[in-house]
Structure 1
Amino acid sequence: MLTLSIAATLALTACSTSSPTPAGTSTLSFLTFETPALTAQFWDTSIADAQKATPGVKINKIVSPSADRNAYAKQLQASGQFPDLLASINPKDFIDAKLLMPFDKEWLQANFLQPEANSIKGATYIPPTNSQILPMVFYNKDIFAKNNISVPKTWAEFVGVVAKLKAAGVTPIELAGAEPWSASMPLVGLVSADVLGKNKNWVADRYAGKTNFTDANVVAAVQKQRDLITAGAFDKGALGVNYADANAQFLAGKAGMYPMGSWFIGQIKPEQAASFGTFMLPTDDGSLVVPFNVGGTTAVSAKAADTAKAVAFAKAWSLSPNNLKALIESDGAFPMFKNIKLEDFDAKVTPVYTDAFALVGQENTKVSSIGWVTNDDAMPPGVADLFYAVSQQLFTNGDVAGQLGALDKAWDKAAVK
C-alpha cells in the first residue's frame, strides 16, 4: 500500500509534458517542498532557470506532502523511488546508506564564502549558498510602543515583556505549535543561546559522550520554555495553529512576539515593514548569541539516473543569481556567494531584512542552530525530530529532565554505527 500511495503521489506531482523526450535527454526526479514563501511557482521558475544552464536535463518535480521532506524521502527510499535530487534535506539521515554524492571541493572553494560550512566528516552534500538565523524574535513595534515596552536585553527583561503583554490582554508569543519543526523555535533558541552559547562544541562533545541532554545547563534552558508555557505566554490553542496561520495571525497584530527563522522576513510586506522589528532571544547576562545556519538546497543522489547531469543541474540551481534573488525576497535568505554581493542581486528588501543581515557580517557569537544545521553539528538521524517534538510535549508534560533523558537514549541508539 505504501508503494502504491507514493507512486500515486509521484504521478500527481511530477512536472511533465505530452511532448516526447529528445534523444540524449536525462529525466531526473527532484524532491521539493512548498511553504507560503516557496510556492509551486517558485519551484517551477527556479527549475526552469537551472535547466537553461544544463541542456539535456528534464526534471520531474516531486512535492513532499508535508514539511518533513526527510521523512518523505525515506518513504521513497523504502519503496525504491529515492529521488535523483533533493531540496533542503538533512544529509546525516542518508549518508550512512551512501545515498548522497559530495560536491567537489574546488567548486565549493571557488564560489562560496564559507565553503566548508556544510561539511560532514570532510564532505559537503549541500552547497552553502545562503544563511539563516533561527530563531530570531520578531516583534510588533506598534504593540510594544502602545504598552510602553522596550526591546528586552536579558532573559529577566524578556519574561517581564511577556508579563506586560499578558496583562494588556495581548498574546505575548505567537507559536505555530501544530507542526513540530515550527513549534521548536523557542526551544531551539533557548538551547542554542544558553548551552551552545557557552560551549560551541556541545554537539561534538555529545557525540563523544562528554555532555548530555540531562546536564543541568540543558535542563535549565528547556525549563525556561516550560515556564513560559505555565506563565501563559502562548495562546491556549497554540498546538492547533499551523505555520501559515501563525504567520497570518502575527502579521495581523494578534501577538506581540514571534520566534521564527529569518525566512519569515520574506512574509513581511514592504508596507508592513515599519511595524515590525527583530531581536535575538536574550540570555541571562545579556550577551548576544546568534544561532546560525549556513544552508542550501540541492543534494544529489549517488544512485541518480544520470549522476553527471544531476550534479550539473544541482550546481546550476545553486549558482543561479535569479534563484537566490527569489530566495532573498521571498524567504529572507542571506546570500553566501563569494563573487556576488547582496546589492548585485538587485533584490527588493525591507529594513527588517537589512537589520537582520547585518548580524551575519558582524563579529558576534555565532553558534550552530541546534537541530537545524546540516554539518558535523547535525544531530543523528531522527533525533532532531524528537527534539522538535519536545516543544509540543512541554505543554502537557512538566517532567523536563525525563523528556531530555529520552532524548539521550534516542541519541545514543541512533549514533551507534
Structure 2
Amino acid sequence: MRRSVVLCVAATFAVAGCGVGDRPAETPSSDGKVTLSFLVFETPNLDAKFWDAAIARASAKVPGVTIKKLVSPNVDRTGYAKQLDASGHLPDILQSVNPAGFAQAGKLAAFTDAELTNFIAPKAGAIDGKVYQLPYNTQVIPVIYYNKDAFTKAGIASTPKTYQELLDASAKLRAKGITPFVVGGGGADTWADMYPLTGTVATDVYSKTPDWLTQRAAGKVKFTDPDFTAAAKKIADLAKRKYIDPAGLSRSYADTEQAFRDAKGAMYPMGSWFATSADNTKPDFEIGAFPWPSDDGSPVTPTFTGGGTLVSSSAPNVGLAKKWALAFDEDKENNDAFVKADGSIPAIKGYTAPSDMGPVYQATVDIYQQGMKDSSIVNAFSQEAGDGSLPPGLADKAALAVQDLVTGKKSAEEFAAYLDDQWAKATQ
C-alpha cells in the first residue's frame, strides 16, 4: 500500500515537471510565480481542514507561491519523506520531518541567523552549527496525564512526586482492578510506546549527564552502562508488575488515546500535544497532569524544541520556499491553531497563547514553566534533533525494541546491548 502511494505521488510530480533531478535550485517560473509541494501529516488533532486553513494563512503573506499539499500516509512523515527522496521527489517544504541524514546529504537549505531572530531558541536542533528546521515549538515529552476519578477510587490523595510513590500509586490502582498505564504502539505507530522509557531516561540518565548522546557518539558512554540499563529495567519492571498491559501494544496511536478516554487505564504517558485534545473532547472524567517523577523527587522536565518546517535545497525557488516556511511558522493565527488543536507551546518571541485555553493545557504549560524556573529542562530521549541525537533510523528501532522490553522478550540488559549494536551499524 505504501509503495503504491509513493509511485502515485512520483508519477504526479513527473507530470508536473518538478522532480528533484529535473530542475535547478533557483528557477522561478516566467510569470514570477512558483508552485511548491508541502508535506504534512494528519492526526486526530491535526486534520485536513486544519492544514488547509494554516496553508492558506501563510500563502496570503507570500504572494507568488502556490502550495501543493502532500499528506503522509501515516504519522511517520520522516519515513515517508525518505521514500519520496529515494524516488527522487523530496518535497519542497516539509513539516516536522527529522532533518538527520537529509541535512548531511546536502538536501536541505539552512536558515540564516537573520531569518531566525524571532525564535526563542534559534540554534535548537542545529547540525554542525546550521539550522535546517525552524525551532518554532516546544513540547514536554512525556507528561503523565491521569484519570482523577480512578485516583480517587484507588485512594490516591496526591500525584506522585517520587518514583516510589508512582509505584505505590500503581499498586493501589492495580488492587482496585484498574490498569495503571495506558501504553500503545501498534502498526505504524510503534513510536507511541516510547514515552515511559523517555521518562526514565530523563530522570536516570539525562538529569545526570545532559549531553549523554553526544558522549555516546564520542564513545565515552554506552547503552549498556548502568544508568541507561537501570532506566530500561524500570520499564521492564512496570510490565512485569502488570502496571503496563502488553496487550495494549497492538493499539494504534488513535486507539491508545481512545483507550485512555474509555478509562481502560488510569495514567497516559504522552507528549504535551494530548493536552488540548483532552480539553477539546472531554471524557467522562476529569484529567490531571504531572511530570514523570525521579527517584528522589528532584524535578526533571524532558522537552523537545523544534519540529517546524524544512526546505529542500532543490526547491524551484529556495528563497521563496524559506519565506513561506517562516510565514507558516511565525503566523500568530497558525500558532494559535496549533495551540488549540495540538497543545503546542510556541517558541516564538512575544507569543502569548489564547486566554481561553482549557485546564489540561494550562496544567501542561505549568509543568514546562516550572521546568524553566527550576532549570530542570533536559532532552527527551528519541525525540532529539540535530547534533547530539540518535543516528537516523535508530529511534524507530528503539521503539520496536521497547515492545520486546515490555513483553519480556528482551531483558533490560539485552535491550541496551541491542541499542549499542544498532548504533554501531547505523554509524559504520
How many corresponding residue pairs? 406
Q: 1:2 to 1:293 in 2, by over 3 A?
A: closer
Taking the TM superposition and a 5 Å limit, the aligned residue runs for 1:385-400 are 385-394=396-405, 395-400=407-412
- Are positions 1:28 and 2:39 aligned together? no
- Are positions 1:379 and 2:386 aligned together? no
Q: For residue 6 of structure 1, what is the aligned residue in structure 2?
A: 6
RMSD: 2.2
Taking the TM superposition and a 5 Å limit, the aligned residue runs for 1:6-405 are 6-9=6-9, 23-108=31-116, 110-149=117-156, 150-178=158-186, 179-269=189-279, 272=282, 275-342=286-353, 346=354, 348-361=356-369, 362-394=373-405, 395-405=407-417
Q: 1:230 to 1:9 in 2, by over 3 A?
A: farther
> CA separation in 2, counterparts of 1:322 and 1:347?
14
**Per-residue CA distance 1:205-245 (angstroms, 9 max, x = gap):** 11110010000111111011011111111234211111111
> CA separation in 1, counterparts of 2:380 and 2:331?
26
Code of the residue aligned with 2:380 in structure 1: it is: S
Q: For residue 418 of structure 2, what is the aligned residue in structure 1?
A: 406
> CA separation in 1, counterparts of 2:4 and 2:181?
42
Residue 69 of structure 2: SS of its match in structure 1?
Answer: strand
> CA separation in 2, counterparts of 1:154 and 1:308?
50
> CA separation in 1, counterparts of 2:5 and 2:349?
43
Residue 302 of structure 1: SS of its match in structure 2?
Answer: coil
User: Which structure 1 segments of 5+ residues have no match?
Assistant: none
> CA separation in 1, counterparts of 2:401 and 2:270?
17
> CA separation in 2, counterparts of 1:299 and 1:332?
21
Code of the residue aligned with 1:373 in structure 2: it is: E
TM superposition score normalised by structure 2: 0.90
Contact map agreement 1:296 1:318 (CA 8 A) in 2 = no
Code of the residue aligned with 2:217 in structure 1: it is: Y
**Per-residue CA distance 1:109-142 (angstroms, 9 max, x = gap):** x201111122222111111111000011101111
TM-aligned CA deviation for residue 4 of structure 1: 5.8
**Per-residue CA distance 1:338-392 (angstroms, 9 max, x = gap):** 13233xxx35311221222123332231101011022322211111111222221
Q: 1:236 to 1:406 in 2, by over 3 A?
A: closer
Residue 303 of structure 2: SS of its match in structure 1?
Answer: strand
> CA separation in 1, counterparts of 2:35 and 2:355?
32
> CA separation in 1, counterparts of 2:293 and 2:415?
24
> CA separation in 1, counterparts of 2:101 and 2:248?
29
> CA separation in 1, counterparts of 2:179 and 2:367?
28
> CA separation in 1, counterparts of 2:3 and 2:280?
45
Identity %: 39
Q: 1:11 to 1:321 in 2, by over 3 A?
A: farther
TM-aligned CA deviation for residue 35 of structure 1: 0.6
Point out 4+ residue stretches in structure 1 off by more than 4 angstroms: 1-5, 9-13
Contact map agreement 2:291 2:367 (CA 8 A) in 1 = no
User: Which structure 2 segments of 5+ residues have no match?
Assistant: 17-28
Code of the residue aligned with 1:133 in structure 2: it is: V
**Per-residue CA distance 1:23-59 (angstroms, 9 max, x = gap):** 3321111111111111111111111111001111111
TM-aligned CA deviation for residue 93 of structure 1: 2.7
Q: Report which stretch shifted further, 24-33 or 352-361.
A: 352-361
